[in-house]
Amino acid sequence: MKAISIPRCAKPFVEGLNDGLIRYQMCSRCRTVQNLARYRCLACGAKELGWKDSVGLGIVEAATEIRRASDPAFQAMIPYAILLVRMQEGFSLMAIEDSEAINPKQVMQIGDCVRLRARRWGDHMGLVAFSASP
């Protein structure tokens, strides 16, 4: 598989995934949080962005079940759910529902509490997955 080029500003995020963490950016000027690696704050345009580790807890805002794999690495997981999760720190993140950690007949619902579970699929780097949180 061809190596994926990672922008310089995204390296802390990717390194966090490989360590089982979700990292997000916080603007040093206006304290806005953002989950996608950027060179500038989306709120005020400042370049002073720092990285923080998320506690890994959130609430499901949306969920959908996938029945057709877009990549061969995901074929064995069919069907699987994709979740939009509002993290405790205030940013949203799209991720896969960890099907090994739940009852496969139960799909996460909007409002469910979830916890990050670090996963690897095939040769892929760490991917974000969530499981139910008590």
User: Do 30 and 69 share a domain, yes or no?
Assistant: no
CA gap 134, 119 in Å, rounded: 20
What pLDDT sits at residue 61? 96
- Rounded mean pLDDT, 115-125: 70
pLDDT in tens, 18-41: 888 899 999 999 999 998 889 999
User: Do 73 and 84 share a domain, yes or no?
Assistant: yes
Q: Confirm whether pTM is higher than 0.75.
A: yes
pLDDT-derived band of residue 120, with 50, 70 and 90 as boundaries? low
CATH number, domain of 127, equals 2.40.50.840
2 occurs within a structural domain: no
Are the C-beta atoms of 30 and 44 separated by less than 8 Å? Answer: yes
pLDDT in tens, 49-102: 999 999 999 999 999 888 898 777 778 778 888 899 999 999 999 988 886 655
User: Do 128 and 69 share a domain, yes or no?
Assistant: yes
* Beta pairing class for 127-132 and 92-97: parallel
Residue 1 has pLDDT above 50, yes or no: no
DSSP string, 30-97: T--EESS--SS-TTT--S-EEEEE---EEEEEEEEEE-S-SSGGGGGG-SEEEEEEEETTS-EEEEEE
